[in-house]
Amino acid sequence: MTTMASVSMPFASGLRRLFGNRAMLFGAIILGIVILAAILAPWIAPYAPNKLSIINKLKPPSMTNFFGTDEFGRDIFSRAIFAGRISLLVSLGVVVISTVLGVILGVAAGFFRRLDAPISRLLDAMMSFPDILLAIALVAALGPSLTTVILALGITYAPRLARIVRGSTLVLRELPYIEAAVAMGLPTWQILARHVLLNLASPILVQATFVFASAMLAEASLSFLGVGVSTDMPTWGTMLASGREYMNNAPWLMVFPGLAIVFSVLSLQLLGDGLRDLVDPRLAKES
Amino acid sequence: MARIAQALLKRLGGMAIVLALVVTVVFIIVRVTPGDPAAVMLGSDATPADIAQLREKMGLDAPLLLQYGQFVLGILQGDLGQSIFLNQPVTTALAARAEPTFFLTLFSILIAVAIALPVGILSAVKRGTIFDQIVVTLTMVAASVPSFWLGLILIQVFAVGQGWFPASGYGGPETPFLERLHHLVLPAVALGVVNSALITRFTRAAMLDVLGDDYVRTARAKGAGEGRVILKHALKNAMIPIITVIGLSIAMLVAGAVVTETVFGLPGVGNLVVSAVLRRDYPVIQGALLVVAAIYVLINFIVDMLYILVDPRVRL
Amino acid sequence: MTDTTKKTPVLSVENLTTSFKTPEGWKAVIRNISLHVDAGETVAIVGESGSGKSVTALSTMRLLPAGRSRTEGRILLDGTDLLKASEAEMRKVRGGSIGMIFQEPMTSLNPVFTIGNQIAEALVLHRGLSWSQAEVETVRLMERVRIPAAKARLHEYPHKFSGGMRQRVMIAMALACRPKLLIADEPTTALDVTIQAEILHLLRELQREENMGVLFITHDMGVVAEIADRTVVMFRGDMVETGKTDEIFAAPTATYTKSLLASIPRLGTMGSAVAPKRFPEVDASTGTATDGREMNPVASTVAPILKVDNLAVRFDLPNGRVHAVEDVSFDLRPGETLSLVGESGCGKSTTGRAIIRLLNPSAGSIVIDGQDVTKAGTRELRTMRRTSQMIFQDPFASLNPRITVGSAIAEPILAHGLMGRKDAKARVAELLEQVGLSAAMADRHPHEFSGGQRQRISIARALALNPKFIVADEAVSALDVSVKAQVSNLLLDLQEKRGLAYLFISHDMAVVERMSHRVAVMFLGEIVEIGPRAAIFDNPQHAYTQRLISAVPIPDPSRRGQTPPPLTEEIKSPVRPFDYVAPKRSYREVSPGHFVQDVA
């Protein structure tokens, strides 16, 4: 008998399947490397990210500069590693903000009938703005900085999470164990925390992973357009933007930051896909 | 027919509410600017007199509610305000740049759907085969590539390298139409390919879902051949979620167009917005946001109507 | 039932073994099944869930997914081996020589094509008719399966049809090309009992007219007794017994068949009992049964614990108002079981949920233990929830999968501040033992338990607050036959020990007869008849009650055919225009405590 209740799975067998899913393991390893490199950047980067060396400008990849150098002779490899810090920091902030907002809005809309229509319409309106465009407008309004980019993208992606959370909450609300909790006279906050949120954890985790990936792409786009985080530190997007002018003669300026984005996003997608298969056995069976 | 007319009215009502919210959100976004928008727009070397003049021009001195009223009233009359830097109405500025964006979006979605539907269906039918695994892997990779980066690579290979297509620009009204379209090939491919990944994966998932349904078994038990089972019984049901995702990806294409236009130097709406942001030309940002969101709401409305045609169960 | 002239069987299955691919390798799910079906004959395959009966049917049609299943043996249709046939030949067989109908009428029809299109498709595929010719024939087929206004409904979509009508459409589709064999996989399981009677009746008639062989898969011994000439009993993938149906019922040889027959709830086994009676205890190793003991009668002098007066629950849809419950009144005494019976959509569950205040009543009053809770606020509701509890149908969705069962049972105790954590833990252990589980199970998660065990846990959780009455909403309906009897007995024992009152909501008349002191029959949101159990079952007065009781299949082939030919009509809908006012009903007392609604 397959029922709704089979959404969860014990942790141990989940771990076993994590290692059974090679694609997911691959994703986890890449993401691990990216995160480690970002954390350990000051120790593993061979050069300071902004160290100029005009005589070494536009050097192709070599043993001294693995990814080559840019128009100011800065080491692309070191810059790419430091850029990962910003990307991860921004994306992480975006995930936290959009998850908190999304869960509050989604649970409220899904659990309390009276709030459903107004919240849902608001979400519809927010989702009518293409993500980058909304983020650009918010950054323009708030002024470009690390915080505003995080805030802007966080607000942009919150409705996506809210939608998913609302849908799952609507299903959960009708399940007998939630009704049993109501019939037992549990306080509403306890029903929400122990019975609703606990069972939403998996779908939220999966969706948060995908938001992480989207945020990374969006941050790169914003930086590329020159409306992103404006700090002294490079980001993959700004590296691509400034490398554009030289791409005919120095293609490595585009190749390596681009690949960094692709691999980071890919690792998150693989992880998210694998997590979804773990969480939703019905989908897992079919792929 | 009465059923459709009734549904139309109801959906129109819902659409009006969402549009009103969109207008409000756009109004709020520009008003959340910390400090004086006029001062921010004019930069640090503006005189207080300049700022006061701009404040008056933008109507920033009026109470917030009155500003909102005027904003709504303006929209209803087709007036989206005046661009500060272009010195022309926002509507004129948008209209002048609509063509490349429209065709870019149109071609991208055509490319995306033309790839996604057949590949997604085939992949679902041949689940677990090498073909399926390749499709799953490729779509995963394609969904991880920033479209602007793909654009840069296409320029490098097909414009700079082979010289088959122009690397940037669009040409003016005097340029022949076909030549203008020639400029769109690379950007449309860059956008379309990246977006086809999403639609392919969704098509595959929707088909897999439907192929496991009871009525598909019924069709087989009736003696229908596989072709009939897939193209008649399964596909029409799978189309219901697929239509939604195509509608949704149009919004994503518009977002992608903003960046892609910059890469290819296309004088479209995206380009306009990016330069407006850099120049803090708030009325233009505001107007572009509003128009794009309104178009999206309209597309959603069309998707809703398509639902009614495809799915007889839609409760009206 | 039909005189089978000896000839080659239509279908003959020899040593059928089907295996599924699992991560651990191929695993046989049915082993060495052999059976045959003659023309005009009905053969039933009976077994509980997991017995492999459906796999047998799907293997015969070769409808199992090719890559992940493997079928060996021989399946001879008129002498040709289907396992050796090409896929093109199989397509001619499916829907041509063999028709098939399935369990889920709600999902077995394609939602986006009209009924007419789906029936006609079979005709176009197999008989080479044009679509317009096929349409004419389709109308004829729809009339044959007694779909009213066939011509008008031709162009309607499945969602406009009730479950019973959809199953008629499925039958029309399956019989479109006059197959020699019909495979029916639990065709009536999802249907209400009166609709089931109609469908069985229809199948029997059509079979007689066409002289068709029928392979009928079911878990319901009553249905088997009603329709099958011969029976195959399956258990965990093996065929444990086969033979003439009346012989199997009269003298089962396999232990499993014996215990299966002994544990099925049967109507009319109460003898002179007045109070409920425990289900027979079946010894699984021998299959012998000892009949259950009669429980205590209820003292009629004590004040009722629950009093419901003129309860109404209505809710609005875009196209009208649903009168889900209208003018329902009854009371319930401590230690008493009142059963609410009726078919889907009759309002019995809604009544139970309104009493527990999971939804708000539109009118009327609910008095629990002397306290009017009809409009109780949050604080009063919390107090009320200690008195009244609920048990739900689906054992798999009744428990939060993320919380250990011990924690789930302790939750209400802690939330109401009845005990500290330590005492609560001891109480959980005590409760688990009371429902026949071990205290050590408290640390496990729900997925580690079987359906029956989960239902026991739900009962323990409901008992945690020491309630005085419990609404049991189809509490044993989803369980397999043997488990159903055990859990029902547990409910009876707990009632006796604790003086609990039950509002027992069920569609299963045989279980209701065992469990109840009194019975209320609901139809379209109203109580049409209420009274002592014996009076309702032995002397039903309302036409609907009579129809409901006579429609229950009796697991005794010798009493076959006693069911009167049923009416063919769609159940009326409780959806009314917004200005509709429910008429005031009056009741007459037939015998002490036995009330029947007057015909309007």
Domain annotation covers residue A60: no
Shared domain for B64 and B96, answered yes or no, is: no
Residue B49, domain extent: 2-76
- Return the structure tokens found at C395: 């054992």
- Asked if A7 lies within 8 A of C401 by C-beta distance, the reply is yes
Maximum C-alpha span of chain A: 77
Alpha carbon C435 to its chain centroid, in Å, reads 24
Identify the closest residue of chain B to A272 by CA–CA distance: B140
- Confidence class of residue B13 from pLDDT cuts 50, 70 and 90? confident
In chain C, what percentage of residues exceed pLDDT 90?
57
pLDDT of residue C600: 63
ipTM over 0.90: no
pLDDT of residue C291: 77
Looking at residue C279, the DSSP 8-state letter turns out to be P
Shared domain for B106 and B64, answered yes or no, is: no
Shared domain for B58 and B14, answered yes or no, is: yes
Shared domain for B54 and B115, answered yes or no, is: no
Q: Which residue has the higher pLDDT, A142 or C89?
A: C89
Q: Is A251 on the interface with B (CB under 8 A)?
A: yes
Shared domain for B148 and B67, answered yes or no, is: no
Q: Counting Cβ atoms within 10 Å, is residue C563 exposed (0-12), middle (13-18) or buried (19+)?
A: middle
- pLDDT per residue as tens digits for the range A199-228: 888 889 888 998 999 999 999 888 888 887
- pLDDT per residue as tens digits for the range C324-372: 999 999 999 999 999 999 988 889 999 999 999 998 999 999 999 988 9
* pLDDT, mean of residues C206-233: 92
Lowest mean pLDDT among B208-222, C257-271, C526-540: C257-271
Tell me how many domains chain A contains.
1
Tell me how many domains chain B contains.
2
CATH code, A225 = 1.10.3720.10
Domain annotation covers residue B84: no
- Asked if B218 lies within 8 A of C108 by C-beta distance, the reply is yes
**Is the model's pTM score more than 0.90?**
no
pLDDT of residue A2: 32
Shared domain for B124 and B210, answered yes or no, is: yes
Shared domain for B230 and B279, answered yes or no, is: yes
CB C517 within 8 A of CB C339: no
Query: Cα angle vertex C214, ends C211, C220, to 5°?
Result: 140
Return the axis-axis angle of helices C451-463 and C421-434, rounded to nearest 10°. 130
Looking at residue A75, the DSSP 8-state letter turns out to be B
CATH code, B304 = 1.10.3720.10
Integer Cα distance of B295 and B288 in angstroms? 11
Buried b (16+ CB within 10 A) or exposed e, A142-173: bebebebbbbbbbbbbbbbbbbbbbebbeebb
Instruction: Give the count of beta carbons closer than 10 Å to the beta carbon of residue C87.
Output: 10
Domain boundary among B76, B102, B125: B76
Domain annotation covers residue A114: yes
Q: Is A136 on the interface with B (CB under 8 A)?
A: yes
Q: Select from B209, B215, B309 the residue whose CB has the most chain C CBs within 10 Å, as the one to mutate to test that interface.
A: B215
Domain annotation covers residue B295: yes
- Return the structure tokens found at C403: 């919380």
Shared domain for B174 and B124, answered yes or no, is: yes
Integer Cα distance of B98 and B95 in angstroms? 5
Shared domain for B153 and B32, answered yes or no, is: no
Identify the closest residue of chain A to C396 by CA–CA distance: A5
Q: Which residues pair with C239 in a beta bridge?
A: C234
Domain annotation covers residue A45: no
Residue A104, domain extent: 85-283
Domain annotation covers residue B161: yes
- Confidence class of residue B35 from pLDDT cuts 50, 70 and 90? low
- φ, ψ of residue A271 to 5 degrees: the values are -65, -45
Identify the closest residue of chain B to A251 by CA–CA distance: B156
The amino acid at B265: G
Residues of C in Cβ contact (< 8 Å) with A199 = 400-402
pLDDT of residue A283: 38
Shared domain for B146 and B183, answered yes or no, is: yes
Shared domain for B18 and B110, answered yes or no, is: no
Domain annotation covers residue A97: yes
- pLDDT per residue as tens digits for the range A137-169: 888 888 778 888 999 999 999 998 999 999 889
- φ, ψ of residue C36 to 5 degrees: the values are -145, 155
Domain annotation covers residue A111: yes
pLDDT of residue C566: 56
pLDDT of residue C541: 92
**How far A265 CA sits from the closest chain B CA (Å)?**
5
Buried b (16+ CB within 10 A) or exposed e, A220-253: bbbbbbbbbbbeebbbbbbbbbbbbebbeebbbb
Domain annotation covers residue A230: yes
Domain annotation covers residue B83: no
Shared domain for B105 and B222, answered yes or no, is: yes
Domain boundary among B51, B76, B101: B76
In chain C, what percentage of residues exceed pLDDT 70?
97
pLDDT of residue C7: 63
- Asked if B212 lies within 8 A of A121 by C-beta distance, the reply is no
Integer Cα distance of B200 and B118 in angstroms? 8
Q: Which long-range contacts (CB under 8 A, 24 or more apart) does A50-56 make?
A: A50/A74, A50/A232, A50/A234, A51/A75, A51/A78
HEC assignment per residue over C202-252: HHHHHHHHHCCEEEEEECCHHHHHHHCCEEEEEECCEEEEEEEHHHHHHCC
Query: Cα angle vertex B287, ends B286, B290, to 5°?
Result: 85
- Look up the CATH superfamily of C11-262: P-loop containing nucleotide triphosphate hydrolases (3.40.50.300)
Domain annotation covers residue B81: no
CB A45 within 8 A of CB A82: yes
- Asked if B233 lies within 8 A of C93 by C-beta distance, the reply is no
Whether C2 shows a pLDDT value over 70: the answer reads: no
Query: Cα angle vertex C248, ends C245, C253, to 5°?
Result: 155
Q: Which residue has the higher pLDDT, C66 or C250?
A: C250
Pick one of 3.40.50.300, 3.40.30.10, 1.10.8.640, 3.30.565.10 as the CATH number of C306-597: 3.40.50.300
pLDDT of residue A7: 36
Q: What is the mean pLDDT of chain A?
A: 82
Q: Cα-atom radius of gyration of chain B, to the nearest Å?
A: 24
User: Per-domain residue ranges for chain C?
Assistant: 11-262, 306-597
Question: Which of A132, A143, A262 lies nearest to residue B144, judging by beta carbons?
Answer: A262
Q: Is A273 on the interface with B (CB under 8 A)?
A: yes
Domain annotation covers residue A13: no
Q: Which of C334, C328, C336, C299 is nearest to C311 (CA)?
A: C328
Whether A287 shows a pLDDT value over 50: the answer reads: no
Domain annotation covers residue B185: yes
- pLDDT per residue as tens digits for the range C411-428: 999 999 899 999 999 999
SS3 C43: strand
Q: Which residue has the higher pLDDT, C2 or B15?
A: B15
Domain annotation covers residue A16: no
